[in-house]
């Protein structure tokens, strides 16, 4: 475990040395502050539109940070010729993969914490009567575990595809397809004939349903909390897909030449 945490610590330091996160965070702050300064016909419900725009920006920025940070981990080690020295130390390939995953996931969690703290403070300044803190907590935790699935998927992709750019593009297409199309595959399958229906249904039950972790409406409309048992089941579901993608990454990395 010591080796895994050591690799994770290096990944976290790398993220905060790069300018990607700071640029995204500053752009998000500026756009949200401009939106917060708008007052249309003294409408009290304008805060809902502010929260919706802010959460959309947070989702986009967090996805960019998760995919781009993870996609360059192994290729960067290979280009900088530091992969062989790392593996020459008492560090196995599995420990390297787990350390890279843990570092990227924790780094995404820290970035997400910054986003949600700013978002919560901004929303609280406009919502003086009701500010459901637990709604924000549930949304942030579910969002973080969804990013864990994406980090594991991107890490597997970094071992399969040649360049970080191609890996990032393909992962972005997969994530977009799951979020916007994947949730409707079971309904689309009803209009198809066999064996196409069976294939589409199998795809529906195979892909990780990232839309389960989208609790933006819970925060925007101040809906009642989701039962914690369902939150726990969703987190176990995410942990299962993380384990599957990490197992695939470890198996691929064991058979891959490092030079």
**DSSP letters spanning 127-138:** -SS---HHHHHH
Q: What are phi and psi of 12, to 5 degrees?
A: -65, -45
Q: What is the pLDDT of residue 243?
A: 95
Q: How far is the C-alpha of 10 from the C-alpha of 16, rounded, in Å?
A: 10
CB 158 within 8 A of CB 74: yes
Count other Cβ atoms within 10 Å, centred on residue 258.
13
CB atoms within 10 A of CB 222: 16
SS3 82: coil
Give the pLDDT score at 21.
Answer: 65
Choice between 165 and 242, residue whose per-residue pLDDT is larger: 242
The SS3 call for residue 100 is helix
Cα–Cα–Cα angle for 223, 180, 110, rounded to 5 degrees:
65
CA atoms within 13 A on the CB side of 70: 38
Contact 213, 181 (CB under 8 A): no
Alpha-carbon distances of 217 from 28, 31, 39, 150, 203, rounded to whole Å: 19, 20, 22, 21, 27
Q: Note if the pTM is more than 0.75.
A: yes
| pLDDT computed for residue 231 by the predictor | 92
| Token pair for 54 | 């802010």
42 confidence band (pLDDT: 50, 70, 90): low
Reported as half-sphere exposure (CB side, CA atoms, 13 A), residue 107 has a value of: 32
Q: What is the pLDDT of residues 65-118, one digit of tens each?
A: 889 889 888 888 788 777 777 777 778 888 889 999 999 999 888 888 888 888
- pLDDT score recorded for residue 245: 95
Beta carbons within 10 angstroms of residue 141's beta carbon: 17
Tell me if the bond preceding 113 is cis, omega within 30° of 0: no
Lowest-pLDDT range of 6-10, 11-15, 34-38, 241-245: 34-38
- At 32, the pLDDT band (50, 70, 90 cuts) reads low
For residue 206, give the 3-state DSSP assignment: helix
Sort 205 into a burial class: Cβ within 10 Å, 0-12 / 13-18 / 19+.
Answer: exposed
């Amino acid at each position: 475990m010591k080796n895994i945490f050591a690799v994770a610590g290096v990944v976290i330091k790398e993220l905060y040395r790069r300018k990607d996160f700071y640029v995204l965070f500053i752009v998000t702050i500026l756009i949200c502050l401009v939106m917060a300064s708008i007052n249309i016909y003294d409408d009290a419900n304008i805060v809902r539109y502010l929260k919706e725009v802010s959460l959309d920006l947070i989702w986009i920025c967090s996805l960019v940070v998760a995919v781009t940070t993870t996609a360059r981990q192994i290729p960067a080690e290979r280009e900088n010729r530091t992969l062989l020295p790392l593996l020459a130390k008492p560090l196995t390939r599995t420990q390297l993969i787990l350390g890279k995953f843990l570092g990227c996931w924790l780094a995404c969690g820290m970035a997400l914490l910054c986003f949600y703290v700013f978002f919560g403070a901004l929303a609280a300044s406009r919502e003086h009567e009701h500010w459901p803190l637990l709604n924000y907590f549930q949304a942030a935790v579910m969002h973080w575990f969804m990013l864990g699935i994406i980090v594991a998927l991107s890490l597997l992709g970094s071992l399969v595809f040649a360049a970080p750019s191609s890996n990032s593009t393909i992962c972005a297409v997969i994530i977009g397809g799951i979020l916007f199309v994947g949730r409707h595959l079971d309904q689309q399958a009803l209009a198809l004939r066999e064996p196409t229906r069976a294939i589409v249904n199998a795809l529906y039950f195979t892909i990780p349903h990232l839309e389960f972790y989208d609790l933006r409406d819970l925060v925007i409309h101040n809906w009642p909390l989701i039962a914690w048992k369902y939150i726990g089941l969703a987190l176990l579901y995410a942990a299962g897909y993380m384990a599957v993608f990490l197992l695939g990454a470890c198996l691929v990395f064991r058979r891959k030449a490092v030079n």
